[in-house]
Structure 1
Amino acid sequence: MDSNLGINNTALVTPYFIPRQSKKKRNLGDGFIKAAIERRIGEFKSDLTFSTREEPSKSEVRRLISAGTIIIGGANMLSDDFSPWPNFDVDLLSDDRLRFFPFGIGINGIPKRNRGFTRKASEIIKGIHRNIEYSSWRCPNTVSILEASFPELKGRFVMTGCPVIYDSPIFQKQKFHEGIKKVAVTITERDDFFEREYLTLIDVKRNFPNADKFLVLHQDFRPKSFVQSALMKSKDKVYLRRIEVLHQLARDMGYSIIAPKTELECRQFYEGIDIHVGSRLHAHLNFLSRNKRSFLTYVDDRCLGFSEFYRFPLITPGSLEEHLDFDFEIVRGKVFESWRNMRKFLKQLPGVA
């Protein structure tokens, strides 16, 4: 199911790359998305890869125009002020040489960020579809919001799922791996995370007492130096302290803490892991794509559309045991269903048969 075809002159804008001056922490999940898109259409050139978090320079805009085809690849980018990058020039969408393709993007999921599109965001979404037939969105809830806001474009927002779920093993119809010797737990350090994630660590320890257990950080919020720590605001220090306490509690329970520096390092580490439990959606999708069992902890509505379509359970701390016999073949069947939509979208892209 993997494509061996490359696209020599296609650009990518992705949140995986963080501007140097930004205080944001890189999210490995965005890197998983980038890698999954490359499995479909080939590797992106470094000089044609840009950040959604930073306005491109004039010379970079010229490179984008030269590329012609621009993939927008991110996770929860569809908010009320949706834009490929900050200060986006809507006039670019009038250039017939340019085609922007949203690829597996989902709703922001935080209610205050999905109340209704701004005028500029509406212009951008309509403008994108002047030059393409279909766009790719990751869950039915995302498509529903778009179709309600832009009824004239109904049928052109394609529910493709996230590209991360489409890796070769899940298409091979082999039984899902049932090993339990090595377990990875992921956490989402957002809002009131502490109790949820602490109870998840306890739940995993109780259900897999003899397994090697790893706490894998998809975002490492720990300061890189004493200077960074000293310059932190008081509220940030309180937040960091909660993370440090959670890490220590994990160590006390026998977990090893793993902080991969890149998505590739993380995915390679996961190859040696039998099962995943936790709140990082793209870790969950990665395991499923590799024919391995995974149980996703509910954090917010970003994951609801996925759960409802692919029919996997959402776990609350303490409920893992009752889901351990879940039939993952249900998920595989739904992956084949959404793959048909993904193929429909992919056929528009240059070099994809």
Structure 2
Amino acid sequence: MSEESGVLTFGSEDNLHKQVLASFLLCDMTEEDLRQNPKFCELLTSLAHRVDKTGLSAPLKTEAKQKLLPQRRLWLQSESIHRALQEMIQDHKIRKHRAGVPPDENMFYETVEKCLLVAQCARQLDPSDTTQMDRPSILGLNPQDVMALMPSEKNMQRMKERVYGVLEEHLKKKCFNFLLYYQPEWENHSDSLNDCKLSNLSAQLDKDKNKVEDLKQSNREKTVLLQRQTQLYLSEMTKCIQLLQSFILETRLKTQTDLDRKKLGYFEGKSELVLETIMSQLVAIKLETYTVDSISTHKEIRKKLESELRACRAEKQSLESKLSSFEILGKEFEALAQQYGKLQEQIEIQKWALKEFTKYNDK
């Protein structure tokens, strides 16, 4: 974007959004806003040819500057002279306390101080267009009452004859001090050369001031651009972080599946190893328990138990055959068997009683 004869010229379409944002720094917009609203972007582009960065049109800014400049210059002149006179009076009081001063010089500065004080009071008492005409006066005084306190005409005349030269000398001294502060390397130059440089000091200050303003404006533009780039950077960083989080989550799930599969294989192998260890321990216990002697003994016991088992089975078979023959006899034999059982119980009881009775008699 270039500026020639007060007309702004935008560059290529790729940089159009950035140039529009740079032309309106006070507007809180982004390039995305301009992309989504192309008509609004065209409106801002057309306005950028007619207004400056602060929003003022060029004719209005020029007119306001032309109207304010003479009044500003007049106020600065009067204010500079007033402050210079006050500084002169203050310097005179300091010199007066440090050492004696001539009577005529003392009278001159007293006259100047009195004139400034009376003029200031008269200005305060003078009802101008910016004050209310019907307001009560201070202590019942008016400007004419205060003006009567002005120094004598003779002292006023002497002061007027001298004040311009003294004021010029004071201002020249201040200018030289400022010149040496602004360019310390000029301190050893001649007075004529310093006078020449002093005449160009105003133009140099204006040039430096414009340079500072340009740097400030450039700094503001860079600050706004940096803020926008920071916002864009943070937005992109947020997207990258979200993408990275999703990638980490997906990778973690895949890795977790592989890890679980490997863990499962590991635990299966470990379980098989534990089972084999248990079986080997069982075999070792059996080997320690069943020695050659114990095995032969167990074989003998087994043979004996098997023979007894065969005898019991034969006896069982015999009893079962007898029981089957008894069952053939029917219910009458069952009644006889029950009666026989009762008789056997009575016999046993009689035997026990006889045994107990015999024990008692022996005692």
If the TM-score is normalised by the length of the shorter chain, which range does it land in?
under 0.3
Give TM-score, length-normalised by structure 2: 0.18
Q: Which has the higher strand share?
A: 1
Q: Which has the higher helix share?
A: 2
Q: Between Structure 1 and Structure 2, whose CA radius of gyration is higher?
A: 2
Give TM-score, length-normalised by structure 1: 0.18
